[in-house]
Structure 1
Amino acid sequence: MNEQALRAWLTAWLAAELDLAADTIDEDRPLADYGVGSRMLVQLSGALEDLLDRPLSPVVGYRAPTVASLVRHLTDAPAADAAPAADSAPDTATGAAGEPVAVIGIGCRFPGGGDTPAAFWRLLREGRDATGPVPPGRWAAAEAAGGEEVLARTPSRGGFLTEDPAAFDAEFFGISPREAAAVDPQQRLMLEVAWEALEHAGIPPRSLRGGAAGVFVGASASDYAMLQMNDIERVDAFSGTGSALSIIANRISYTLGLHGPSMVVDTACSSSLVAVHLAMQSLRSGECDLALAGGVNLLLSPAATVNFEDAGVMAADGRRKAFAAGDSSRVTPPASATWPSPAASTCCCPRRRPSASRTPGTAAG
């Protein structure tokens, strides 16, 4: 079957299943935008198997998420999407335990305007204070619920992002407006910085589709899940995946089509460090050939700050003084985000020593 015939068949099949006019289906628009879910994608792969008379993976619709890309995928490489044999196993070369791992790209969002590696490095070199007063209206919901007295005795300074945590270009990442509203801002931020880290490394993000790149994320705050799932009238089909911490990594893997390990680890304050450690282990064992490793911590409720204040572990002046004799406590970032390596940013790490042209500098903290 040629491309034109297959395109016509796909358009007709989708129009019939979705009860839409065929001319309203844009071949370059993600199928998810039309409401095509996992069950329909499996049905589609089965129908294509019958049409083309060859085995296909049930996830073919995830690998090629538009009519145009699906047509190209099925006609350019007929055998590429054949279902794998049951006894097949990935061919991975085991790397040396001490093989060097290079950080080749970084993406970040930090308080004080550290929204790019260069901006973060300037902030560190200039010794600027990244903390600031609580933005107006940040805890409006808590105040409306009668928490003014509690908030009044918590630190009035902290690490806040300069941009609105709710700002997100959902269409760019192929997410429908309805689903985007249910997606934890931590998932949104990590999608953005993962993309930026790859661009910083000179790697076109879409070029990794189908490859063995892994995603390792450290995260422990789940404020959005608490706020969203407690509002029972707002819970819908997207609330579960939108609220789950595990989906922070999975959404990156799904969006970019990555087939390597995809996980979120929560070891409290060491989550990002452990995520990088696991990424390095995976690279050295040959489990993945490139890794996106990092972390995110967005506090959307004052609850954690109140908890730490009552426990006596908050810095009264809002400034952390790690290892100093006068260190009074810690600073909780009510809206800071994205960590990757021990330095803090999202990093992209290849298994083999890269050439000089693929080794951008890294930020050190």
Structure 2
Amino acid sequence: MSALGNNASMRSLVEEVAVVGISCRFPGSDTPEDLWKLLKRANSAVSYIPDGRWDNNFLRGLRESESQIIQRGGFLADVAGFDAEFFNVSPREAAMMDPQQRLLLELSWEAIEDAGIRAQQLSEARAGVFVGVGGDDYSTLVREQGPDGVSPHTFTGSLRSIIANRVSYFLRATGPSLVVDAGQASSLVALHLAADSLRKGDSDVAIAGGVTLRLTPHHSLAAHRFGALSPDGQCHVFDARANGFAQGEGGGAVVLKRLQDALADGDAVYCVIRGSAVNNDSGGSQLAEPSARAQAAVIREAHRLAGSNPRDVAYVELHGTGTKAGDPVEAAALAEAIGSLRQAGSPLRVGSIKSNIGHLEAAAGIAGFIKTALCIRSGTLVPTAGFRTPNPYIPLDELNLHVQTSVEEVELDEPTLLGVSSFGVGGTNCHMVLSAAPAAAGASGHAGSTRPASLSSSPPVPLAGTQDVPVPLLLSATSATALQGQAARLSEWLRTDAGSANAVDLGWALLTTRSVWNHRAVVMGAVGDDIAAAAQGLEALAVGEPSELVRTGRAVPPVKPVFVFPGQGSQWLGMATDLIDASPAFAAALQECADALAPHIDWDLRHALRGGTDAPDLERVDIVQPALWAVMISLTR
């Protein structure tokens, strides 16, 4: 265990922002748990584009070498799957939605569940949504289909702004809702804006993140011909083999609160955003040429706003693309802003998630941020995959930098600082200063390095006398199949990551921090620290087997009566006259109708219904329709 920083600066909780929920979908990792395993093992998820994703005719029109290069990268196995019914989207509309919209809906939901927030609560708060997005490949695909490819849902399905707005609509969130396109810095800039919105009071809770999906080969080919892609499809960050970046796709989302609110709510906090800044390099000799001066300036500004000292930074998650031009510039900027301030022999540790999953461009910043948040939460730094020999243009010792190449447990508790950088090709630079949460925020604690289902929330007060009492575990879902999936997920968590899970805490979290759906189950067997029996019940529920520990059912929502009124032709002479005499409610309602009709007619309603020699003709259109209306209204009463 090594100490990596010391910072005693004072600052206000009001100005700090807590990360209370995380979700991700990255190459080789569908959850934060998967990502953490990938990072600790220093694995690379770079491979080839899934079969059938791109137009083969387009690829056949390229030189073989070009075709091979652009097909390498970190890709998601499935970008088409989507539970449209869960998100109240019709199948036809879902088919016309940009998959980036669909992905962000899923990520946002998973993040708020991880934060222990019921979706209904967001409609009662000013919840903001901030998303970094760059590509619009789906619009390209729609245009290629010609006029027949355009449907009534194409307009909202293809607008980039809707990627954020769709989440706000589904959650009934009323705070700011916007998409940021700042090139490769987009998602970290979105996170910067989300934190600022909380500080200013525009939002009380915020969802921030980014998505990138590579649905056509056009952008990849453009990046290759620009000279940005690595021929071998790997990001050799700060390495002598640096020859371009590996492309990647996916997305991530985080839930933010003001730190003082998170502490008051008893939230488990991944990390704290101390401050952040954005600038632009104003252009070098070329539009895409990075500037060490501007990158150093944005780092210093982020620390100024955070009230912190750059010399106290223990680790920086690099933009780290592995390009010949970008890496040396970023190294020089870090040396100027941080490395030169640290003691000789105590280098600044650096690394980049792009070595694991490729460059997600608009979503790259949120990927690096999530990696750093997991490092802080676990007190562990992870390797930069594939690093071998330092880039000869990056004299690490001279710059007082060190590329992290091993899994290392370190003291990352407050007040140690970490940084995250993200830079756009057009010169937009963003840097963020992070730290661990105050000790008070760790009272509940996440289970393991992350918590898959908000299972670390504790009751607000100790529940005396409950340690030996069986605690029901309550699960719910939108379908029987989904309920089994919930049971399987919780069972897996208990089997692998539960640690010191306590039945009361677990039951309380499931009861109070999850949205409630109609398909429900109660699993018994959890007592105190012994949850083995409950795990057995969950396993049975997951595979649909009966168990004495499990009860399932379906909650039927309250049914409201529906009244169907008949049209003309259903009348008969004497209708409703028995009710006029026998039901005071009916008679009173009919009299109200008669009084309402009186100024407009020259006949008597009751007389028309009872009939007689001098009664109005009930078969007349101008009589039967008001008469039927009055009878139906009175029957309803």
Taking structure 2 as the reference length, what is the TM-score of the superposition? 0.39
Contact preservation (8 Å) 1:208, 1:257 = yes
Contact preservation (8 Å) 1:229, 1:239 = no
Task: Report the residue type matching 1:351 in the other structure.
Answer: R
SS of the equivalent of 1:169 reads coil
Contact preservation (8 Å) 1:216, 1:264 = yes
- 1:200 and 2:107 matched: no
- 1:300 and 2:300 matched: no
Task: Report the residue type matching 2:133 in the other structure.
Answer: A
Quote the residue 1:137 is aligned against.
52
Q: Select which of 249, 256, 268 maps to 1:359.
A: 268
Structure number with greater Rg is 2
Quote the residue 1:93 is aligned against.
none
Quote the residue 2:483 is aligned against.
none
Q: CA deviation at 1:215?
A: 0.1
Task: Report the residue type matching 1:267 in the other structure.
Answer: A
Structure 2 spans left out of the alignment, 5+ residues? 1-11, 272-369, 373-637
Q: Select which of 104, 126, 140 maps to 2:20.
A: 104
Question: Counterparts of 1:165-184 in structure 2 under 5 Å?
Answer: 165-184=79-98
CA RMSD of aligned residues (A): 2.1
Quote the residue 2:389 is aligned against.
none
Contact preservation (8 Å) 1:155, 1:315 = no
Task: Report the residue type matching 1:244 in the other structure.
Answer: L
Q: CA deviation at 1:358?
A: 1.3
- 1:119 and 2:26 matched: no
Task: Report the residue type matching 2:20 in the other structure.
Answer: I
Closer/same/farther in 2, CA of residues 160 and 153 from structure 1, 3 Å limit: closer
SS of the equivalent of 2:241 reads coil
Closer/same/farther in 2, CA of residues 161 and 143 from structure 1, 3 Å limit: same
Quote the residue 2:256 is aligned against.
349
Quote the residue 2:150 is aligned against.
235
Superimposed CA distance per residue, residues 226-253 of structure 1 (whole angstroms, 9 cap, x where no aligned partner): 1113322120111011001100000000
Distance in 2 of aligned mates of 1:293 and 1:152: 35
SS of the equivalent of 2:206 reads strand
Contact preservation (8 Å) 1:97, 1:284 = no
Distance in 1 of aligned mates of 2:61 and 2:250: 25
Distance in 1 of aligned mates of 2:39 and 2:69: 27
Closer/same/farther in 2, CA of residues 314 and 287 from structure 1, 3 Å limit: same
Q: CA deviation at 1:117?
A: 1.1
Superimposed CA distance per residue, residues 299-325 of structure 1 (whole angstroms, 9 cap, x where no aligned partner): 101111111111221111111123334
Q: Select which of 228, 247, 253 maps to 1:332.
A: 247
Q: CA deviation at 1:146?
A: 4.8
Task: Report the residue type matching 1:102 in the other structure.
Answer: A
SS of the equivalent of 2:192 reads helix
Identity %: 44
Closer/same/farther in 2, CA of residues 209 and 317 from structure 1, 3 Å limit: same
Quote the residue 1:8 is aligned against.
none
Q: CA deviation at 1:207?
A: 2.3
Distance in 2 of aligned mates of 1:248 and 1:171: 18
SS of the equivalent of 1:358 reads coil
Superimposed CA distance per residue, residues 50-109 of structure 1 (whole angstroms, 9 cap, x where no aligned partner): xxxxxxxxxxxxxxxxxxxxxxxxxxxxxxxxxxxxxxxxxxxxxx79711010000110
Contact preservation (8 Å) 2:111, 2:254 = yes
Question: Would you say how many aligned residue pairs link Structure 1 and Structure 2?
Answer: 260
Closer/same/farther in 2, CA of residues 142 and 303 from structure 1, 3 Å limit: farther
Task: Report the residue type matching 1:303 in the other structure.
Answer: H
Distance in 2 of aligned mates of 1:229 and 1:212: 37
Taking structure 1 as the reference length, what is the TM-score of the superposition? 0.67
Quote the residue 1:147 is aligned against.
61
Question: Counterparts of 1:240-255 in structure 2 under 5 Å?
Answer: 240-255=155-170
Contact preservation (8 Å) 1:142, 1:148 = no
Task: Report the residue type matching 1:105 in the other structure.
Answer: G
Q: CA deviation at 1:155?
A: 4.0
More strand as a share of residues: 2
Question: Counterparts of 1:45-124 in structure 2 under 5 Å?
Answer: 99-112=15-28, 114-124=29-39
Closer/same/farther in 2, CA of residues 156 and 223 from structure 1, 3 Å limit: closer
Q: CA deviation at 1:186?
A: 0.2
Quote the residue 2:450 is aligned against.
none
Q: CA deviation at 1:360?
A: 4.6
Closer/same/farther in 2, CA of residues 288 and 117 from structure 1, 3 Å limit: same
Task: Report the residue type matching 2:267 in the other structure.
Answer: R
Distance in 1 of aligned mates of 2:23 and 2:209: 9
Task: Report the residue type matching 1:99 in the other structure.
Answer: E
Distance in 2 of aligned mates of 1:119 and 1:205: 25
Q: CA deviation at 1:277?
A: 0.5
Closer/same/farther in 2, CA of residues 203 and 303 from structure 1, 3 Å limit: same
Distance in 2 of aligned mates of 1:230 and 1:250: 26
